[in-house]
Structure 1
Amino acid sequence: MLLPTHLIVLGASAGGMPALTHLMGQLPATLPAAVLVVQHLAPDSSGEALAARLAAHSALTCQLATHLAPLRAGHVYLAPPDRHMLVKENRVLVTRGPRENNFRPSIDALFRSAAVAYGPNVVGVVLTGMLHDGTAGLDFVKRCGGMAVVQDPHEAEFPSMPESALQSVAIDYVAPLNQMGALLAELVGAPAATPFLIPPDLQLEAAIAERVVGNTDEINSLGRQVPLTCPDCGGALWELPQGRVLRFRCHTGHSFTADSLLDRSRQSLEETLWVALRMMEERRNLLTSMASRGEGQWSVQQEERVEEIKAHINRLREFLLSGLNSADDIAAS
């Protein structure tokens, strides 16, 4: 079996499996590239069933990625559930490293390692999905000389991921799904490009991902520490200035675009407010019990405190139930 001249790296989330099966059916068996796919999956989902579904619609050899599997032209590798899929030289790495953009497997993690390994011979593709995973990944691909492709968001079942990429990265091609197979076959049918100078920061980040964790000296060389904490582990965050997409990461390995960090912090704050509501209701119940057993002035004071905390509870409950669309809603309240 031949080594691939190119890599096609595909990322999809919500609505991804129908889009992927349609796209796989368009790619020829003689494709000179290996295709690596990250589809966001539940940790307990069956990766084998999804690989079989892709195989049923494709002339390519489709398989669930295994650690150290050799890359082969005409083969499709699907990232296993709850595992990152990376590229190292001409092999696939499967790791359980820290989440990136709140996902494992992460599209960004795959795209970065592929871009570092294959440079200008990588085509990165973002399909339908919600939120922002894949945006920074396409920026990595572009910084290493590769090509960036997104599904036309007007036809994507969930357009958030293609739209996010279009807003932040110089995308080379925006294509409807039924034309994407021919486009990808044309792009990887060109002769392999000459070696490209890979940015040192991406080389270091790819090496950290392969080892699962880094250290503070390495992260200090990538960016500057900022007064923010990682929502996943509580550690310090560093702002990474390279590239067109603002990103943050901790020395443990969690990584976020600014948009995904904002969304994750909103979720954490909302969870904290629900806990605060529960504690306030428990305090109200305790004060009510104390007031019912008191006499005279003490009872009056307790009842006043109960009424005061009821007002706080009602305000907080109304705020939470009205829906939180962004962290700015919370800050403005």
Structure 2
Amino acid sequence: MARSTVIAIGASAGGVAALCRIAAAVPDTLKTPILVVLHIGTHRSELPKLLNAAGPLPAKHAEDGEMIKPGHIYVAPPDRHMTVTRGSLRLLRTPKVNWARPAIDPLFRSVAEGYGPSAIGVILTGNLNDGSLGLGEIKRCGGIAIAQDPDDAAYPEMPASAAAHVALDYRVPIAEMSNLLIRLVSGDDGKELVMPITLSQPNAEPDPQIIDGQPFERPIAVTCPECGGALHASGDGEIIKFGCHIGHSYTAEIMATAQFDEMERTMRAAVRFLNERAEFCLQMAEHARLTQPDASAAWQAASKQALDRAYKLRDLVEQDWITPETFAVDQATRQVRA
């Protein structure tokens, strides 16, 4: 019985060559899926094509919602974090992590949560330290933590960080990585086998605070609606005052009103940008209609998408909002009149 149900690999600078060497040395009999994050940013990625040419396992860019198949390599596409939930892949354009999107840590954390001791995490060549925290989560959940030997890496910082902060199970040069993975998957490394598991509970109720598996963290501070500086609160009896270091100050009720007005202004500006994008893409579609029909269709699709989202955002802005600040003012007014 196989030890692992998933292999997660993270790489950055120098990672294309390292990943191709791994792909070239794994056999088509390997039935464990491999999930790959390479720091590609928004740039076009040819990595699946290169991996397909290098070795026997089929490689492709992940698609949102698709189920993971054994013996396939899934690559995070440009500008999307890739995570795994209950055996399916999610692609998220959530904020950058460690200055990167796609980033390694989101994938590793989701693999740790979903597969526990059935997971293998691998950090390859790269700068800085993305992946160290995620690899630590895989290790903490009972999975196997591996890093490329920093002395063997074209860019040693990422594997060196993993070695410094995670109790690695293995640290090997890239030439030995594929054979190690094969042994681990087959259970031939001499360690106790574990049952493949999925830790996620399929019937568990979703957390209403979590959107697409990404929780909103509480802000470190509330900021000034006028200048963006951090606000501090002070009290004088029942009146609470908020002030920033520039000198702007508000009572709680006026602060809430100013904050709401700034939020509405920002959202309406986003509606305007979306509407302008829709118009720009429509003009480009018309420009390409006669000479580049395929490009024209893509511009038209982008225009429709922007307009659809502009309508949704406008509807959101124009919904009724709960305004406790007006309730507090009205209550105070009634008390005075009484």
Give the 3-state SS of the residue equivalent to 1:17 in structure 2. Answer: helix
Aligned with residue 161 of structure 2, among 161, 164, 172? 164
Task: Tell me if the contact between 2:124 and 2:158 (Cα under 8 Å) persists in the aligned partners.
Answer: yes
Question: Which residue does 2:195 correspond to in 1?
Answer: 193
TM-score, normalised via structure 2 length: 0.58
- Aligned residue among 18, 32, 44 for 1:46: 44
On the 8 A contact 2:85/2:110 being kept in 1, the answer is: yes
Tell me what 1:101 maps to: 98
Structure 2 unaligned residues grouped into runs of 5+? 188-192, 201-205, 223-227, 232-338
Give the match for residue 131 of structure 1. Answer: 128
- Describe the SS at the equivalent of 1:102: coil
Q: Which residue of 2 aligns with 1:28?
A: 27
Contact persistence 2:41–2:101 (CA under 8 A) = no
What residue identity is the alignment partner of 1:57? A
235 and 226 in structure 1: CA distance in 2 versus 1, 3 angstrom threshold: closer
Tell me, in whole angstroms, the C-alpha distance in 2 between the residues paired with 1:124 and 1:132.
15
> Sequence identity of aligned pairs in percent?
40
Q: Where has structure 1 moved over 6 Å in runs of 4 or more?
A: 233-236
Unaligned segments of structure 1, at least 5 residues: 199-203, 220-224, 228-232, 237-333
- Which aligned pairs between 1:1-333 and structure 2 lie closer than 5 A? 6-43=5-42, 45-47=43-45, 49-190=46-187, 192-193=194-195, 195=197, 208=210, 210-214=212-216, 216=218
Q: Which amino acid aligns with 1:30?
A: T
Structure 1 vs Structure 2 CA RMSD: 3.1
SS at match of 1:140: helix
Q: How many residues align?
A: 216
8 Å CA contact 2:5, 2:196 repeated in 1: no
Cα gap change, 1:194 to 1:58, in 2 (>3 Å): closer
The whole-number CA distance in structure 2 between the counterparts of 1:26 and 1:66 is 25
AA aligned to 1:39 is: L
User: In 2, distance between residues paired with 1:193 and 1:157?
Assistant: 36
Q: Work out the CA distance in 1 between the residues paired with 2:199 and 2:87.
A: 18
Shift of 1:131: 0.1
Query: Counterparts of 2:120 and 2:171 in 1: how far apart (Å)?
Result: 13
Q: What amino acid is the match of 2:25?
A: Q
- Determine the C-alpha separation between the residues in 2 that align with 1:117 and 1:125: 16
CA distance 1:155–1:50, shift in 2 (3 Å):
same
- Offset at residue 30 of structure 1 (A): 1.2
Aligned residue identity for 2:216: G
Cα distance in 2 between the residues matched to 1:234 and 1:31? 54
Contact 1:144 1:197 in 2 (8 A): no
Q: 1:71 to 1:234 in 2, by over 3 A?
A: farther
- In 2, distance between residues paired with 1:234 and 1:120? 45
Residue type at the aligned position of 1:27: V
Deviations 1:25-50 (A, max 9, x none): 1111111210000000131x222x22
Structure 1 residue 99, shift from structure 2 partner = 1.2
Note the C-alpha offset of 1:90: 1.0
